[in-house]
């Protein structure tokens, strides 16, 4: 696989590599990076929100470096590898004459620029998208077993990066449906599936909790054109900054001249149309669209190499994009230069204040899978997120975090317990946390309330039934538990939380036996909501807030 790199290309890419290494070392983590660093503390074949690739690359980087650079090191290498793969996919006869244009095009795209030093699931997604397209191009020219193996491994890498990688593979397939009858193509599919088996097993062992959350459990809100569809179009522009007219004009002017170009067009238009349709149901985040940057680099380069005027304008406008991005990068480190308070600013201050107040006790953050790993990363002291019924599940809901604080004195931080004790204004002005000690901490967040949803009607007079499953090794006295309910609207937003009476069907049952279930009866409590659409049941233990113990149940 020949890359044919001109000297200018090597010098500039080397400069980018050095810049990204320095940036990664001196820029504090953002919250998502801290959360993925927490993933990497316990290596596994899957995590609550994402497949495991992001944790793997953090773990590998941490073998070489400590701190922020360890978290970001492999991402930096992948971000350098992405333009190399794209360059290898270009076979234009005059491509060496446009090496500068190519690099300006790539590094003027804001998210490609940012993911050069941040570690997020999209970083490996971009790399494996480029690798997938390169192998696909090779496979089209020579569909042999070697390229099929490469194609299969690239598809596995995509799927181990993010779940929405599936649409990247599908849209390329839609561009060439004859692949269905190609035996060598099926070899690639077989290799990809074989590589993905460990994650399938992980999903099965964890009740497909990630898939269920992304498809059915996530809250939404009522459709708003400006926030949803309008925001989608803003994101399409934000992907490319000031160069967006050139990029989209190149896309518009591109004609499908061969199967590879057709695949690039299907992939780009497919993702755009897919998320345009999604924008009528929920807000589309900018990074969901980022995969189109990879085919758009190839399509835009092909167009500007044939249009000298466009190439000149790309250099000018792209350089402006890069200058703005470089200024912003300085602001990530030096706060006064940044127009707003960003995630990299001010965290060490509140972390130090909480660390001093906790005097060595583990920290329990209520409803914050963001603050807990950020605190743990910079303090090197244990912390967990303790999720209540108004929040959402996350990695702390399914791993051993809860067990790590059982029976210990903890410092409990919540934005709701204003009378609890000392206050801690957070660095970015988001909110204030209130902290107090809890001796001999005991919780049962993993108890599961199991309800047959087809039997539930919104009738506050009717006696309903459920089972409570105890996954712990210890028996739990029922007298320690209190039940409650959260009523939700059509968009699964919590609107009312109430206490609820629930009693064992057999009044003589006093314990939730280990790895066993107990039948309970309950009645839905009255609510001020006109017509709740969903509800979920939570359990409070030892006076703690209601937990996330039940799934969202549709009310008839």
Q: What is the pLDDT of residue 321?
A: 96
Which tens digits make up the pLDDT trace of 67-113? Answer: 999 999 999 999 999 999 999 999 998 899 999 999 999 999 999 99
Write the DSSP string, 192-206: HHHHHHHHHHHHHHT
Report d(CA 35, CA 371) in Å as an integer.
Answer: 9
SS3 498: strand
Q: What is the pLDDT of residue 530?
A: 87
SS3 484: strand
* Nearest in space to 243 (alpha carbons), one of 326, 126, 321, 324: 321
Measured between alpha carbons, how far is residue 191 from residues 109, 153, 172 in Å? Answer: 33, 7, 17
Contact 538, 486 (CB under 8 A): yes
pTM: 0.94
Q: Helix, strand, coil % (nearest 5) of the chain?
A: 55, 15, 35
Mind listing the pLDDT tens digit of every residue in the chain (556 residues)? 556 689 999 999 999 999 999 999 999 999 999 999 999 999 999 999 999 999 999 999 999 999 999 999 999 999 999 999 999 999 998 899 999 999 999 999 999 999 999 999 999 999 999 999 999 999 999 999 999 999 999 999 999 999 999 999 999 999 999 999 999 999 999 999 999 999 999 999 999 999 988 888 888 888 999 999 999 999 999 999 999 999 999 999 999 989 999 999 999 999 999 999 999 999 999 999 999 999 999 999 999 999 999 999 999 999 999 999 999 999 999 888 888 888 899 899 999 999 999 999 999 999 999 999 999 999 999 999 999 999 999 999 999 999 999 999 999 999 887 777 788 888 666 688 999 999 999 999 999 999 987 768 888 889 999 999 999 999 999 999 999 999 999 999 999 999 999 999 999 999 999 999 999 999 999 999 988 999 999 999 998 999 999 999 998 8
Contact 429, 341 (CB under 8 A): yes
Structure tokens at 290: 């980022």
SS3 491: coil
Q: What is the pLDDT of residue 117?
A: 94
Q: What is the pLDDT of residue 486?
A: 96
Q: What is the pLDDT of residue 417?
A: 78
Q: How many CA atoms lie within 13 A of 549 on its CB side?
A: 28
Contact 80, 21 (CB under 8 A): no
Tell me which residue has tokens 């690099």. Answer: 103
Helices then strands, counting H and E runs in the chain, come out as 19, 15
Report d(CA 383, CA 53) in Å as an integer.
Answer: 23
């Amino acid at each position: 696989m020949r890359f044919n790199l001109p000297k200018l290309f090597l010098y500039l890419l080397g400069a980018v590599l050095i810049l990204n290494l320095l940036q990664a070392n001196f820029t504090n983590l953002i919250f998502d990076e801290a959360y993925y660093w927490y993933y990497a503390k316990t290596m596994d074949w899957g995590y609550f929100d994402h497949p495991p690739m992001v944790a793997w690359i953090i773990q590998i980087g941490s073998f070489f470096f400590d701190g922020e650079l360890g978290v970001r090191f492999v991402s930096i290498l992948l971000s350098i590898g992405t333009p190399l793969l794209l360059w290898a996919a270009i076979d234009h006869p005059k491509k060496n004459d446009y090496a500068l244009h190519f690099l300006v095009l790539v590094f003027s795209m804001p998210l490609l620029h940012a993911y050069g030093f941040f570690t997020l699931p999209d970083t490996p997604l971009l790399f494996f998208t480029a690798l997938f397209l390169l192998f696909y191009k090779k496979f089209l020219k020579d569909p042999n077993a070697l390229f099929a193996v490469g194609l299969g491994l690239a598809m596995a890498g995509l799927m181990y990066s993010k779940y929405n990688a599936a649409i990247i593979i599908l849209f390329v397939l839609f561009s060439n449906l004859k692949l269905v009858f190609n035996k060598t193509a099926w070899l690639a599919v077989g290799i990809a599936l074989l590589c993905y088996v460990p994650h399938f097993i992980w999903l099965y062992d964890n009740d497909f909790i990630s898939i269920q959350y992304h498809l059915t459990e996530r809250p939404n809100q009522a459709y708003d054109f400006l926030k949803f569809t309008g925001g989608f179009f803003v994101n399409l522009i934000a992907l490319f900054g000031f160069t967006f007219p050139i990029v989209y004009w190149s896309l518009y002017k591109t004609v499908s001249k061969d199967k590879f170009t057709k695949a690039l067009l299907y992939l780009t238009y497919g993702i755009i149309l897919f998320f345009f349709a999604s924008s009528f149901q929920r807000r589309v985040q900018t990074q969901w669209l980022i995969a189109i940057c990879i085919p758009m680099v190839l399509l835009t380069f092909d167009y500007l190499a044939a249009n000298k005027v466009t190439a000149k304008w790309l250099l000018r406008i792209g350089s402006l994009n890069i200058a703005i991005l470089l200024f912003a990068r300085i602001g990530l480190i030096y706060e006064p230069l940044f127009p707003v308070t960003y995630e990299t600013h001010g965290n060490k201050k509140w972390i130090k204040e909480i660390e001093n107040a906790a005097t060595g006790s583990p920290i329990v953050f209520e409803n914050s899978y963001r603050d807990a790993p950020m605190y743990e990363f910079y303090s090197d002291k244990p912390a967990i997120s303790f999720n209540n019924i108004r929040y959402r599940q996350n990695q702390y809901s399914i791993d051993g975090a809860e067990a790590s604080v059982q029976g210990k004195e903890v410092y409990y931080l919540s934005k709701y317990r204003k009378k609890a004790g000392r206050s801690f204004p957070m660095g970015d002005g988001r909110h204030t946390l209130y902290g107090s000690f809890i001796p001999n901490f005991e919780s049962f967040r993993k108890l599961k309330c199991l309800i047959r949803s087809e039997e539930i009607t919104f009738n506050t007079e009717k006696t309903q039934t459920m089972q409570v499953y105890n996954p712990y090794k210890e028996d739990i006295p029922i007298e320690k538990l209190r039940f409650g309910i959260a009523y939700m609207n059509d968009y699964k937003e919590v609107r009312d939380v109430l206490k609820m009476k629930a009693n064992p069907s057999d009044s003589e049952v006093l314990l939730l036996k280990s790895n066993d279930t107990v039948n309970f009866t309950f009645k839905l409590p009255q609510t001020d909501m006109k017509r709740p659409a969903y509800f979920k049941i939570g359990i409070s233990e030892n006076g703690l807030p209601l937990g996330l113990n039940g799934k969202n149940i549709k009310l008839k």
